[in-house]
Amino acid sequence: MGRAYNFSSGPAVLPAEVLYEAQKFLVDFKGTGVSVMETPHRGKVYGAIREEAAALVKELAGLDDGWSVAFIPGGASMQFAMLPLNFLREGVGADYVCCGTWGGKAFKQAQIAGDANIAADTRKASPAYAPSPAEIRWNPDAAYVHITTNETISGCRMPEIPDPPSPLVADMSSDILSCPRDYSKFSLFYAGAQKNLGPAGAAVVAFRDSFAETCSAAIPEILSYRTYASGRPLYNTPPVWTVYIILLTLRWLKAQGLENVFARNRSKAAKLYAAVDSSGFWRGVARKDCRSLSNVAFRLPSEELEDLFVKQAEAAGMVGLKGHRSAGGIRASIYNAFPEAGVDRLVEFMKEFERRNG
């Protein structure tokens, strides 16, 4: 086949323009005689890549000079570990809002490392939903409060970002820079790159320097946010290629125009949810007011039909539609780089499938 329509939840589809550019320069990066994979991390080529990528994140998220942007190895799961190691200490815990699997995983890692409290928990709700600010019980002494803005597995997003009394920290892996958001409400936010920002291998982490300054000094340097503050020299060898592809993706995002990308994301999601709501054959997983713009999760009348749907869709050039192994069902991840034509094709396929099997 040619390029498939890739609905995978992450690693996920990258803009075709990014892939073609990466391919063109893979062996010899713009006449330097070496690949980006072979270029020294303290040299000019990588220095320029890193600087531009960090500046673009700041520009696109509207962050001021009090913020640092770092590309930290390990994805969101490494952030689940770093957050409690940096900020929890004897007598000081953190609040976690858990509205799905990922919030629960973040909470579990904080429990291992220190004192973590559940401020709200809707993990067992069906249909899936995220708590409204009124349902959350904050601990006023928390070192930070952690939310997950979009739960990738259930396709459930927080429709309203709360205003807690403590520094607000968010896992935005599946919706960073994909919808309008006031990023200045946060003290730290992060995203595994492999959904909206590039390939797997790093988390994009933005934090207020004043917040990072409150972290513990008693942890190894590579795990400390201080190590990644603006103006610090690189501590370790970063994932050079990953950051390069993140840069190309951010350039693509800027060239598209954020507002255009947001509008396209709304349109893609609206088309898919309209198909899901069009008959009783389909059932959306998330409550309507919490429906994700990134991950559209739905069920069919039986698991057999779901398996058939995934198989036939794949044969028709649409891959990655199988729901997470813990949840089953169908999940269409339609991040920034996912083309609207692929959504149109899926909607068409859903109609055909219902006609044949409904």
Residues 266-295 that bind its own copies (CB under 8 A): none
Q: What is residue 346's three-state secondary structure?
A: helix
Place of tokens 């939840």: 9
From 171, 175, 241, 252, the catalytic residue: 171
d(CA 278, CA 274): 6
Which position among 118, 161, 222, 308 is part of the footprint of its own copies (CB under 8 A)? Answer: 222
For residue 310, give the DSSP letter: H
Decide the pairing of beta strands 168-171 and 188-192: parallel
Binding track over 76-115 against its own copies, x by CB under 8 A? xxx-xx--xx-----------------------x--xx--
Q: Report the distance separating Cα 139 and Cα 145, nearest Å.
A: 9
171 assigned to active site: yes
Write out the binding residues for its own copies, residues 172-211 only, by CB under 8 A: 192, 194, 198-202
Tell me which stretch binds its own copies (CB under 8 A): 7-15, 93-101, 204-212, 345-353: 7-15
Annotated active-site residue 344? The verdict is no
Please, which of residues 242-261 interact with its own copies by CB under 8 A?
242, 245
Closest separation between CB of residue 166 and its own copies, Å? 21
Q: Residue 157 and residue 294: Cα distance in Å, rounded?
A: 9
Please identify which residue in 159, 160, 235, 277 interacts with its own copies, judged by CB under 8 A. 235
Task: Decide: residue 99, CB within 10 A, 0-12 exposed, 13-18 middle, 19+ buried.
Answer: buried
Q: For residue 241, indicate whether it is catalytic.
A: no
C-beta closer to its own copies: residue 67 or 241: 241
Binding test (CB under 8 A) with its own copies, winner from 90, 134, 163, 218: 218
- Residue 219 tokens read as 């942890």
Touching its own copies, residues 285-344 (CB under 8 A): 317, 319-320, 325
Site for its own copies, residues 111 to 140, rule: CB under 8 A: 112-113
| Burial (CB count within 10 angstroms: exposed 0-12, middle 13-18, buried 19+), residue 217 | exposed
Question: Rounded distance, CA 219 to CA 301, Å?
Answer: 51
Using the rule CB under 8 A, give the single segment among 19-27, 61-69, 87-95, 269-277 that binds its own copies.
19-27
Which phi and psi angles does 8 have, rounded to 5°? -60, 150
Cβ count within 10 A of residue 90: 6
Smallest separation (angstroms) from its own copies to the CB of 234: 10
Residues 27-46 that bind its own copies (CB under 8 A): 27-28, 31-35, 37-43
Amino acid identity of residue 302, one-letter, is S
Q: How far is the CB of 12 from its own copies (least distance, A)?
A: 6
Residues that are catalytic: 102, 171, 195
